[in-house]
Amino acid sequence: MNNWAGNIAYSTQAFEEAATGDAVRACVKAHARMKVLGTRHSFNGIADSSDRLVAVPGLDDVSIDVEAKTVTVGAGITYGQLAPVLHQQGWALHNLASLPHISVAGSISTGTHGSGETNGTLASAVSAIEFVSATGEFERLSRARDGETFKGAVVGLGALGVITRVTLDVEPAYMMRQHVYENMPLADVTDHFDAIQASGYSVSVFWDWQGSRVNAVWIKTRVDAAKPFDAPARFHGATRATKNLHPIAELSAEHCTEQLGAVGPWHERLPHFRMGFMPSAGRELQSEYFVPRRNAVDAILAVETLRDQIGPHLFITEIRAIAADDLWMSPACGQDSIAIHFTWKPDMDAVSRLQPRIERALAPYRARPHWGKLFMVTPSTLRSLYPNLPAFVALAKRYDPQGKFRNAFLNEHIFTM
């Protein structure tokens, strides 16, 4: 069995699905080592196991608490399954990633995010979590009751146990529109970075690092915004697109959510890609680095010095804003961030050569890698980037003293002390 991108062949054939919380408990009790798979969209070995893989797609129930303004979901549900149900009942999430195909539990476990300078990671919407720890018992933690333990557990890298339920904050459903602007001069992006980020609820800058103009800026706005975006024909030197576009220009926009300012529900505008269609390129690799928002322009220009090396191997880069959260292992913990993402052509050798150069260029900005994507940052650097990492290790050991949920990825990057 492989991950979605096909670059990781999982290290065991032993696989089972657990369809209920009790089945999860039985499975955890029965096996000495295991790893849970979400929808397998991570690009590194974070979900791999050499012993046993378990999945929980049957845990997909949805229960809305109108008073508390929360929804509690089974951990195997995908955002693509959940969002239409929420919308039908008049509710919404604060944000979504570029694709709805990913599971809620897998996404929050890696600090997955969308864009928007006021929007935290998807994990920042979690208000409670239920998981089965190594002893096979249910553990329940909530934002209101469990303080630091909760903050440590939510972006849990799959290390604490098998998540069975997640409670997420919801808000009244809202409508959105998105406009795409093509060919924005780089000088406008750098000189007016803050104004461009502030122009929409969720803004993405797509660039192949070639030439003096970025390829496209996608601006997603809420219809209920206090100051609606008036979508001028020209915006910071860029031209408003007159047809739907894919972030990778050669690919069909049929895969993408509706643009051209057409009003639609939040869950059909926040992701770039539509459920039921192939997101992104398909055969690809990805890496992504979070830098503090205040260093955004310097960090972008530092990567730009590598443009000739990056160019031949890249499909597209996406630059997004993420609001700070307080979740220990979130790449946006404690700092408003800008994430610089790379969708690479599927040439692992080339990506492995380029990554250390990109990581060196970004090192002065203390770039934190995305947990679900490719990176080569050393464990000692990770420790310096995550002040709570020792506390996270202690927390994981509390729920999993024998390392039942550890794997090579966690041993190499996290449990190094």
Ligand X SMILES: Cc1cc2nc3c(=O)[nH]c(=O)nc-3n(C[C@H](O)[C@H](O)[C@H](O)COP(=O)(O)OP(=O)(O)OC[C@H]3O[C@@H](n4cnc5c(N)ncnc54)[C@H](O)[C@@H]3O)c2cc1C
The least CB distance from residue 314 to ligand X, in Å, is 15
Confirm or reject binding of residue 332 to ligand X (CB under 6 A).
no
Confirm or reject binding of residue 167 to ligand X (CB under 6 A).
no
For 124, residues 6+ apart whose C-beta sits below 8 A from its C-beta are: 94, 323, 325, 327, 330, 332
Rounded CA-CA distance 353/350 in Å is 5
Among 27, 82, 92, 105, binds ligand X (CB under 6 A): 105
74-93 residues near ligand X, rule: CB under 6 A: 75
- Report CA 63 to chain centroid distance, whole Å: 24
Tokens at residue 345, please? 């052509």
What track of x and - describes contact with ligand X for positions 340 through 379 (by CB under 6 A)? Answer: ------------------------------x-x-------
Rounded CA-CA distance 150/155 in Å is 9
Among 109, 257, 330, 337, binds ligand X (CB under 6 A): 109
Which listed range, 155-163, 200-208, 348-356, 386-394, lies at the site for ligand X (CB under 6 A)? Answer: 155-163
Among 97, 123, 205, 302, binds ligand X (CB under 6 A): 97
Confirm or reject binding of residue 38 to ligand X (CB under 6 A).
yes
Nearer to ligand X, 44 or 295 (CB): 44
Q: Which amino acid is at 384?
A: S
Nearer to ligand X, 92 or 123 (CB): 123
Phi, psi of 398 (to 5 degrees): -65, -40
Contact (Cβ atoms closer than 8 angstroms) between residue 188 and residue 237: yes
Among 34, 47, 86, 214, binds ligand X (CB under 6 A): 47
Confirm or reject binding of residue 292 to ligand X (CB under 6 A).
no
Residue 51 is classified by DSSP as S
Nearer to ligand X, 98 or 335 (CB): 98
Rounded CA-CA distance 108/36 in Å is 13
Nearer to ligand X, 24 or 170 (CB): 24
Q: What is the 3-state secondary structure (H, E, C) of 190-250?
A: HHCHHHHHCCCCEEEEEECCCCCEEEEEEEEEECCCCCCCCCCCEECCEEECCCCCCCCCC
Tokens at residue 118, please? 């006021």
Which listed range, 14-22, 85-93, 101-109, 357-365, lies at the site for ligand X (CB under 6 A)? Answer: 101-109
**Nearest to 28, CA basis, from 159, 105, 135, 131:** 135
Confirm or reject binding of residue 4 to ligand X (CB under 6 A).
yes
Total residues contacting ligand X (rule CB under 6 A)? 34
**Residue carrying structure tokens 């390392």:** 403
Which listed range, 157-165, 228-236, 251-259, 379-387, lies at the site for ligand X (CB under 6 A)? Answer: 157-165
Residues near ligand X, by CB under 6 A? 4-5, 35-42, 46-47, 56, 75, 97-99, 102-103, 105-107, 109-110, 112-113, 157-158, 162-163, 279-280, 370, 372
